A and B are shown apart, each in its own frame.
Chain A
Amino acid sequence: MILSILILGLPFTASSQTKSAKTEKIRIGTAISLSGPYSAGAGMTQIPNYNMWVEEVNAKGGLLIKKLNKRVPIELIIYDDKSDIGTAVKLVEKLILEDKVDLLLPPWGTAMHFAIAPVVTKYGYPVMGPTVSSEKLREIAHKVPYFFGILNMPREQGAALVELLDELGVKKVALIYVADAYGIEWTGKVAPELGVKKIDVEILKSYPGDVKDLSTLLKTIKAAEVDALLCMSYPGDTFLITKQAKELGLNPKLLYMGVGVAFPVYKQMFGGPDVVEGIMGAGAWNPKLPYPGAKEYFDRHVKRWNKEPDRWASAFAYASLQILEQAIEKVGSIDRKKIRDCIATETFPTVIGPVRFEGGFNVQSPGEIGQWQKGEFEVVAAKEKRTAKPIFPKPSWP
């Protein structure tokens, strides 16, 4: 009985938190996957960028708050959402209601973003998502005005990919995809486009996310002698397909895979950059891009973390932080509504180029496809953004 009274008391004690005066520190909170299946992505794409940005800003003295005529340092609060949506939602609410943070940074992954979008809108916290890419977002975008998607969307990515295939004269493709929301959506966008361009889809198959062996499927594809193999894949399968395609000598003229190709570990893990020469993947960013600060950002990241940022969402994550900083400066204070309105209307120079949001979506970065060339992930689509010409056909496996 005594114990039950004690238990009752705990929520009350847990809810007493020290409130920091706004003028002393700006508290930015994030519930993100430090453990669980999403932790690999979060640990590569977002967490290092969050930490590095906070360090850089604090080195300057903090965020510039014009209304107070001074810089205020940032305090970053990170919680682990365990790659669990229920926990993530609860922690975001805890950050807002209990820790009373001034600003929020998003978690990792499409599902997580979907879950917190209504929450951040309800409490009025502007958030830009760097690791959400789903057409479903368009359906609900008008309901979540405080949520912005900064990463390229499947519709544009798919279009860019098919454009590229058309340009290179690809006629027959095999399309395989991971049996998950990601794979289904992308295939749903790419397959009809291929039909429009009269590109023949010889093989169309899905595979489960935990697949351990795709050799039988890949052997069938090899026998079909297609021009291009497109895989809407996640890191685990991306690596598996790369390994097995090499082992089996499956060498289509064009090899495209989804998430994972842009990872820094990708160019090393198969024995060196020459092994992945010519492989294409989702997204593209590299330090050679002509945007101010791009190369410096890359170098800083390497210096600070002893590893490269990934060649896709990392830069978008960092860009979203740049936007946040600039918006705060423009508004002059931490007025979340004004910051939200500023983000929604203005254009911001970032490491991924000048970013502008329309209807909650970044319109600066439409389809972007990259290809590994001599150890660098060159941008080969869209045409206007190219940092190098696409290598076609793909050289044989060394």
Chain B
Amino acid sequence: MSPLLFLDIFIGGLMMGGLYALIAVGLSLQYGVARVLNVSHGEFIMLGAFATYSLYLLFGINPLLSLVITGPFIFFFGFLIHRTFFKRLRRLSPSLDAFEGSSLLASFGLLFIIQNVALLTWGPDVKGYSYLSKTVNFFGAVYAANRLIALFFAILIGLIFYFFLMRTRTGKAIRAAAQDVTTAQLMGVNIHWVLGLCFGLGALMAGFAGSLTSMMFEITPLIGLPYTIIAIIAVVLGGLGNILGSLIGGLILGLIGNIVMYIHPGLSLIAYYIIFLLLLLIKPTGILGK
């Protein structure tokens, strides 16, 4: 295999991986901290995609700029959902396991609701637009500008978030809550606010990912679920509850997907699942888990 081809596959894999990493980190915040395995995570991606599309079409707003506009709304929406549903659910649940079970169910209900609302608002027709689809020459290989930008933004958002997590007090509170909710509470962390924040941030990441993907792929009310599944695999890969782990998990999945795609296109998803299952059997705590 020529080094150029290898680089091609590698960078291509990284581009998808960057998106997967962003989505996985979002889910990890929701599951790792707030303990909600949010199967409607992908629907927030879908909403982000549609919002960006609508802004672009109706007002000609630059999709990258619209991140700033749609971001707060999606964050607030996620935050609100946690405060109204999941907070109450947590209060009512006799145990953490029971909460995980019933929040899983509730997030299903959420999935149905959001998808139907999207269907009613935007209709079932396939939508799409073209933005920055010029190509860029990168070390002799050719890549689409929008994919490179998506990777760049994913990394940027990841770095900002990392900084936020490590260097701010709120970030510290989140890390504490991720480790042990009760102890964190004892330490004075306003736990419900933090959980809501995490859920909102998770939704925000999904929304961003959606805006980025809308530049490259088709937009329909159904695009959410496949991303959710990849996010779940990435989160498990990195270790349930480990935020950095899910980021790495997402990148790895992107890379593996592209490599397998080169060998035999039909096997990518199967490869994902085999890795996923083997990991669960051998080291369920994931790559970075303890």
CB–CB A249/B130 < 8 A: no
Q: A206-B265, A210-B269, A249-B135 are in contact. Are A40 and B130 (CB under 8 A)?
A: no
In the complex, 18 of the A-B residue pairs with CB atoms within 8 angstroms, ordered by the A residue number, are A35-B115, A36-B222, A208-B269, A210-B226, A211-B265, A215-B8, A215-B144, A217-B265, A219-B142, A235-B218, A240-B217, A243-B216, A247-B134, A247-B142, A249-B142, A265-B127, A269-B127, A270-B133
Minimum distance in angstroms from A274 CB to a CB of chain B? 13
In the complex, A239→B125 CA distance in Å? 13
Q: A205-B265, A207-B266, A216-B12 are in contact. Are A40 and B133 (CB under 8 A)?
A: no
CB–CB A212/B217 < 8 A: yes
Contact with A along B120-150 (1 / 0, CB 8 A): 0001111111100111000000111000000
Residue ID in chain B nearest A209 by CB atoms: B266
Minimum distance in angstroms from B58 CB to a CB of chain A? 15
Residue ID in chain B nearest A272 by CB atoms: B130
User: Which of chain B's residues have a CB closer than 8 A to the CB of A248?
Assistant: 135, 142
CB–CB B142/A263 < 8 A: no
Q: Is A179 interfacial (CB 8 A cutoff)?
A: yes
CB–CB A35/B124 < 8 A: yes
CB–CB A265/B126 < 8 A: yes
In the complex, A38→B119 CA distance in Å? 13
User: Which of chain A's residues have a CB closer than 8 A to the CB of B135?
Assistant: 247-249
Q: Is B116 interfacial (CB 8 A cutoff)?
A: yes
In the complex, A246→B132 CA distance in Å? 12
User: Which of chain B's residues have a CB closer than 8 A to the CB of A219?
Assistant: 8, 142
Minimum distance in angstroms from A235 CB to a CB of chain B? 6
In the complex, A212→B222 CA distance in Å? 15
Q: Is A37 interfacial (CB 8 A cutoff)?
A: yes
Contact with A along B1-31 (1 / 0, CB 8 A): 0000000110010011000000000000000
User: Which of chain A's residues have a CB closer than 8 A to the CB of B142?
Assistant: 219, 247-249
Contact with B along A193-224 (1 / 0, CB 8 A): 00000000000011110111101110100000
Query: How many inter-chain residue pairs (CB < 8 Å) link A and B?
Result: 97
Extra contacts besides A207-B265, A260-B126 (20): CB < 8 Å: A35-B115, A35-B116, A39-B119, A39-B124, A40-B124, A40-B125, A40-B220, A43-B125, A208-B266, A208-B269, A215-B12, A216-B8, A236-B218, A243-B130, A243-B133, A244-B144, A246-B133, A249-B135, A265-B127, A275-B130
Minimum distance in angstroms from A352 CB to a CB of chain B? 23
Q: A37-B222, A43-B124, A243-B216 are in contact. Are A208 and B130 (CB under 8 A)?
A: no
Q: Is B275 interfacial (CB 8 A cutoff)?
A: no
CB–CB B130/A271 < 8 A: yes
Q: A35-B119, A206-B265, A240-B217 are in contact. Are A40 and B8 (CB under 8 A)?
A: no
Q: Is A42 interfacial (CB 8 A cutoff)?
A: yes
Q: Is B81 interfacial (CB 8 A cutoff)?
A: no
Minimum distance in angstroms from A360 CB to a CB of chain B? 30
CB–CB B124/A269 < 8 A: no
Minimum distance in angstroms from A183 CB to a CB of chain B? 11
In the complex, A248→B142 CA distance in Å? 7
Residue ID in chain B nearest A263 by CB atoms: B126
Interface residues in B82-141 by Cβ distance below 8 A to A read 115-116, 119, 123-130, 133-135
In the complex, A239→B222 CA distance in Å? 16
In the complex, A205→B265 CA distance in Å? 8
Residue in A43, A212, A216, A236 whose CB lies within 8 Å of B9: A216
Q: Is B70 interfacial (CB 8 A cutoff)?
A: no
User: Which of chain A's residues have a CB closer than 8 A to the CB of B226?
Assistant: 210
CB–CB B133/A247 < 8 A: yes
User: Which of chain B's residues have a CB closer than 8 A to the CB of A208?
Assistant: 265-266, 268-269
Q: Is B261 interfacial (CB 8 A cutoff)?
A: yes
The 8 closest A-B pairs by CB, nearest first: A39-B124, A207-B265, A247-B144, A43-B124, A269-B128, A40-B126, A271-B130, A270-B130
Chain B contact residues: helix, strand, loop or mixed: mixed
CB–CB B126/A239 < 8 A: yes
User: Which of chain B's residues have a CB closer than 8 A to the CB of A265?
Assistant: 125-128
Residue ID in chain B nearest A176 by CB atoms: B265
Q: Is B211 interfacial (CB 8 A cutoff)?
A: no
Q: A206-B266, A207-B266 are in contact. Are A239 and B128 (CB under 8 A)?
A: yes
In the complex, A36→B119 CA distance in Å? 10
Q: Is B162 interfacial (CB 8 A cutoff)?
A: no
Q: Is B258 interfacial (CB 8 A cutoff)?
A: yes
Residue in B124, B144, B265 whose CB lies within 8 Å of A34: B124
Residue ID in chain A nearest B19 by CB atoms: A212
CB–CB A239/B218 < 8 A: yes
Q: Is A44 interfacial (CB 8 A cutoff)?
A: yes
In the complex, A212→B18 CA distance in Å? 14
Q: Which of the listed residues B129, B258, B265, B269 has the most CB atoms from chain A within 10 Å of its own CB?
A: B265
Q: A40-B125, A206-B265, A217-B265 are in contact. Are A269 and B130 (CB under 8 A)?
A: yes
Minimum distance in angstroms from B114 CB to a CB of chain A? 13
Q: Is B193 interfacial (CB 8 A cutoff)?
A: no
Minimum distance in angstroms from B125 CB to a CB of chain A? 6
Residue in B12, B115, B129, B268 whose CB lies within 8 Å of A269: B129
User: Which of chain A's residues have a CB closer than 8 A to the CB of B220?
Assistant: 40
Interface residues in A233-258 by Cβ distance below 8 A to B read 235-236, 239-240, 243-244, 246-249
User: Which of chain B's residues have a CB closer than 8 A to the CB of A213?
Assistant: 12, 15-16, 258, 261
Q: Is B262 interfacial (CB 8 A cutoff)?
A: yes
Residue ID in chain B nearest A179 by CB atoms: B266
Residue ID in chain B nearest A269 by CB atoms: B128
In the complex, A39→B269 CA distance in Å? 24
Minimum distance in angstroms from B231 CB to a CB of chain A? 14
User: Which of chain B's residues have a CB closer than 8 A to the CB of A207?
Assistant: 261, 265-266
Minimum distance in angstroms from B45 CB to a CB of chain A? 13
Minimum distance in angstroms from A33 CB to a CB of chain B? 8
Interface residues in B198-254 by Cβ distance below 8 A to A read 216-218, 220-222, 226
User: Which of chain A's residues have a CB closer than 8 A to the CB of B126?
Assistant: 40, 235-236, 239, 260, 263, 265
